[in-house]
Structures are given as C-alpha cells and as structure tokens.
Amino acid sequence: MGSAVKVIEDNSLQVLPDGYSFNVRLNWYRSLPVSSVANLSVTLDGELVPADQIRFEINNRQFHLSEMENQIEEFWFVQDSARLHIVQPGKVAIGESHTLYTEMALRFPYISIGPGKFLTNTSRCTSTQVAQSGYKGPILGVTLFSLTNEWQQRLYDLDGMIAKVVEMGLGPGVEVVGFQTFRTYPSVSDEEAYHFRRLVEKYSLVPTCLGANMDNGRHPKHLMSEDEIYSYTERQLISAKKLGFPLMRVPPAVGSLSLEKILPLAEKYKIILAVELHSPLSIYHPEVIGLRQMFDRLQSPYLGFIPDFSTTMTSVPEGFWNNLRSAGAPESLIDAAKAIWSTDDPTPVKFGALGEACKRFGANPIVSGQINNVMTMFGHAPVDSWREIMPYTRHVHGKYYYVNEEGFEPSIPYQALMKMLKDECYQGTISAEWEGQAFTEEPIGFQQVAAWNAMCRRFLAAA
C-alpha cells in the first residue's frame, strides 16, 4: 500500500547558519514511530552526505540517525513533515539551485513477515530546488506578568485579559506565571486547564512558557529536600502538559544536581526545563558555568536557558533612582551608586562599596536596604556574551522597564540585542516582560507591551 505524497517536499530547501535543510513526508497511510525509519540517506548534487551530518527533526525534537532506532514513543504523524537538517556550513547558498536525492526505508511494525521480521518498503525521490533563507525571525509574544498591575487591580479576568492581548495584536506567543494565573496551581485542575486551552485555541495563540517556582523556603524551619523538589517539580510539569506549554521556566535555585535528577520527568512529560538567567547571573557566573557543563555532558533537548535582558543593561532605570529619592536617598549617594554599578568590579566588591557609600552619605535604613537591589536586579554584561549560549537558548525574556515616546528603552540596548538574535538566526520565542510595575502602580501594561512590540519589530526589520 503506497501513498499519494512526494517524499521530498517542494520548495522546502532552506539555508541555515550551519548548513541547510529540507522537508520529507511519510510515504504511508498512517503514522509510524520514528524507530520505523530503518534507513535514510541523502545526496546533494550527486554527492552522498555522511550519515553523521544528518539530523532528523520531528515534533520539535532533533535526532542523529544513530538515535532513531530507540525512538519507539516518538511518532511521525502522517500529515506532518519531518525536517532533514544537514550540518554542512556554506554548502548551499541562498538563490542557488541544487538537486536533492533521498532514500528512506520504512519498517512497518504491525505487518509481520516472519519471526522477528516486518515488512519494509523503500522510497526514493529526487527534487531540484532553489535554496531560500531558512530564517523567519523570532516569534514575539507577551508574558501576562507584564500585566500585573491590571491583574492585581482586578481590571480583567483571564478571559478579558487574553481577549485584550489579541485585540491589540500582542501575540501570538503567550507566557504565564503559574502561581499568578491559575487558582488551582501548582496542580492545575482539569477544568481550569481545559478552559485555558479553549481560550488559546479560540484566539490562535501559541503557549510559549509556563513560569514555575520552587518555593524552597515554604517550610518555616528547613529548605525543601531533593525529594520534595522532585515532587514539586513533577506537579508543575503535569500542569504544563495539561495547559499545553512546551516549556517550563525554572529558577537557577534548582541547581545542576537537582536539575539532572528531574530531567527524566521532563523527558516523560516532553516538557523542556529552561533555567532563567536573570541578573546577576551572567553566562560567566559559577552557577551558569556549572549548568553549561551539565548541558554539554547530557546533550538533552529537554534542557536549556532563558536569557533575561536584565543581565544586559546599559544603565539603571530612572524609576529605581526615583524610588530611592522618595525613600530619602541624597543625590550624592545616588551619583555614587551609579558610578559603582557601572564598574566591572566583582559583585561582592560592589556591595562593599555601596555599604561604604551609604555610611558616607548618611543613608537611612530603608535606603540602605533598597539600594542593594541595584546589583541584583540590573546587570551590564556585554550583548555579545549571549552568543555563547544561543545553542542552549529555548526561550527569551524580553525584560524592559519603559519604552519612551521615541520608541526606545533607555536602559537596555534593544537594537543591539535584536541584531544579535538575528545574526544568530534565533527563531524561538520572545516574551515582552515589562517590569515597570516595580516603579508604578498605573495600569499601563498593555500600552507598554504594544510599544515594546513595535520597537522590536522595527529593530528586527532594520538588523
């Protein structure tokens, strides 16, 4: 029994930073496990591609050919295209015409032809195509955390907030903080999960990321044990699955040891665990270095990072200084704090310098407590430092505090950041994460997200 599809999909040849890709279809009438691909070979312009340079991509996962025989629970749906990603940098250029040839043998695991033997059919296909750019740009969206003022002031329920996001064109991506959005979190009820999924489907939104928390200090007298972290994480992973999120944000406090221990849960529920790199965690922080080493060792598609732009700032938001002024900070102390923040000294040295400045300028206890946040909330790592972890970037938090009337974020170099993402051919998701509610109670989140969206689109188009 054959199928009325052409194995190599027309007009699918795309140029990638590390090579090229094209799509293939399943030449059968029903879905099959990925392990049923018994043999696969690719030829470009008559030249055989080495097997170790071929990656098979399906269901947002990537496999080396040698890994495919073990993918008995990963199914290739009959209407879906798989992408063959060929790691041969510079082999194909945009606008060039190339001839692709592929042979694919499928073993049908339900048609026995003898003891331990199953019917196998080989399809062969040739296609000549003009290569196109494979870069479509990142997917913009919003985290509902940006609308905290509106939510806390009860201006919207979830239905109304989602409807407003769609009305203003702030999607398609939508991210939520679990404990902020769902009454029954961390173990979201079937009813609440169903309601959210119906909302997402109604408005054609894309669930991007569920913000999880570990609550390590929920016991008054001791921290959570590793077993408790495991159980607490599993409850939230189950909720992510029920809600339709492909990725769950976890804080660095999980730690590399616990993260490795809970990785089987992520694989079980097919949810990516991504560690948020919020200031002061630059890529050179010891915790981040440890995580990168673990990611290198495990090479799991279910682990990664969420860069947060708070780590890459050029100045501290003026709202922060205004809050300090309101608390009684003298201008001389603010000037000193700005100078200390802008140095490249280690963070402990900066904290010491801040303490000395508070004594020197007679800061009151409230100011002395608040001013330390300047070193934890706002980092100024170079934009290009993010390039090192882009292979492990699963999602991005587009942190910002204010987009002015000229369409710029004064404290974060968005133009350089968008160019970096485009240079790296990042095609994942970015959530607008407005944290201006730290400085104002005004319900201006929707307006600020709209301004962020326009700013990012402008910079991406110009990059």
Confirm whether 85 is a catalytic residue: no
User: Residue 371: CB partners within 8 Å, gap ≥ 6?
Assistant: 324, 329, 333, 337, 354, 358, 363
Give 120's strand partners: 107
Inform me whether the pLDDT recorded for 3 exceeds 60: no
The verdict on domain 139-314+378-462 having CATH code 3.90.600.10 is no
As given in the structure block, the two tokens for residue 21 are 């890709």
Across the range 160-188, mean pLDDT stands at 97
Across the range 246-258, mean pLDDT stands at 83
Across the range 320-349, mean pLDDT stands at 94
As a whole-number percent, the residues of the chain with pLDDT over 70 amount to: 99
HSE-CB at 398 with a 13 A cutoff on CA atoms is: 34
State residue 254's pLDDT score: 76
For the stretch 33-80, pLDDT in tens is 999 999 999 999 999 999 999 999 998 788 999 999 999 999 999 999
Across the range 150-160, mean pLDDT stands at 98
Q: Which listed residue (195, 222, 278, 380) is catalytic?
A: 278
State residue 258's pLDDT score: 82
Inform me whether the pLDDT recorded for 113 exceeds 60: yes
pLDDT band at 17 (very low <50, low <70, confident <90, very high): confident
Q: Delimit the domains of the chain by residue range.
A: 14-133, 139-314+378-462, 318-373
Cα 339 from chain centre: 33
Q: Which residue stretches of 343-406 are H helix? A: 347-360, 365-370, 373-377
pLDDT band at 93 (very low <50, low <70, confident <90, very high): very high
pLDDT band at 435 (very low <50, low <70, confident <90, very high): very high
State residue 1's pLDDT score: 52
Instruction: Identify each DSSP E strand in 170-234 by its residue range.
Output: 173-177, 206-211
Location of structure tokens 């009305």: 167
Mean pLDDT over each residue of the chain, to the nearest integer = 94
d(CA 26, CA 190): 34
Task: Identify the DSSP state of 115.
Answer: T
List strands edge to edge, sheet with 81-86. 61-64, 54-58, 81-86, 19-25, 14-16, 132-133
pLDDT band at 347 (very low <50, low <70, confident <90, very high): confident
For the stretch 405-428, pLDDT in tens is 999 999 999 999 999 998 888 989
Inform me whether the pLDDT recorded for 193 exceeds 70: yes
Across the range 345-350, mean pLDDT stands at 88
